[in-house]
Amino acid sequence: MPGPLDDCARLRLLHELASAFAERLELDALIPLVTTRCREALEVEGVSVVLHDLERDELYFPYVAERPEVASRLVELRFPATHGIAGEVLRTGTAVRVDDVAADPRFYGAVDQATGAQTRALLAVPLTSHQGRVGVLQAVNPRRGTFAADDLTLLEVLGESGGRAG
C-alpha cells in the first residue's frame, strides 16, 4: 500500500529534487529544499540532516524541517557520534526504520529531552559523499500513524542523491 503520495507524486518529487541536484545548487539552498519536501511528501512531523563533525566526533543538526520551537533547539544540539540510532546508521551505513523508538535500545533520548519533542517512530538513512559517510537523513513521527513500506526506500534515494550533491 503506498504512503501519502501515489507513485506519480513520488516520481514528480524525485524529478524535482534530482533537477535541483543536477543544477548543483549551493548546499545551503539544496538541503533545506530536500528536508522541507521530504517532510511534506512523507507527511511527518520533522526531517533533519545530522552531520558528523570529524574533529569533535559529534553529530549535529545543521538542517531541520520541524516545528520552529523544536528546530531552534535542534540546531544548537550536539551529541557523541557513537550514540543513538543516527550514530549506528553513520557507523554501519545501513538505513533503518524504527516503528517504536521507546522499545529500541539504540534510541538516544537525550535529544528529545533537550528539545521537548517526543520521537515515536523514525526513518534514518546514511548520507554518503566521495569522502565516505558524512551524516544521516532522518524523518520522524508519521502523521498518519505508521510509515508505509516504501517510505524508507524514498528516503534512501533522496539520501543517496543528497550525499552526492554535498
Domain harbouring 157, CATH code: 3.30.450.40
* pLDDT for 44 beyond 50: yes
pLDDT in tens, 48-68: 999 999 999 999 999 998 888
- Domains contained in the chain, number: 1
User: Which residue would you say has higher pLDDT here, 83 or 8?
Assistant: 83
Per-residue pLDDT at 32: 81
pLDDT in tens, 65-93: 888 889 899 988 999 999 999 999 999 99
Q: What is the mean pLDDT of residues 111-134?
A: 91
User: What are the helix (H) ranges across the chain?
Assistant: 7-22, 27-42, 68-74, 84-92, 110-115, 151-165
Domain membership flag for residue 2: no
- Least confident range from 28-42, 86-100, 107-121: namely 28-42
The residue range of the domain holding 13 is 7-165
Domain membership flag for residue 1: no
Q: What is the mean pLDDT of residues 113-137?
A: 91
Per-residue pLDDT at 19: 62
How far is 88 from 55, CA to CA, in rounded Å?
18
* pLDDT for 157 beyond 50: yes
How far is 96 from 20, CA to CA, in rounded Å?
26
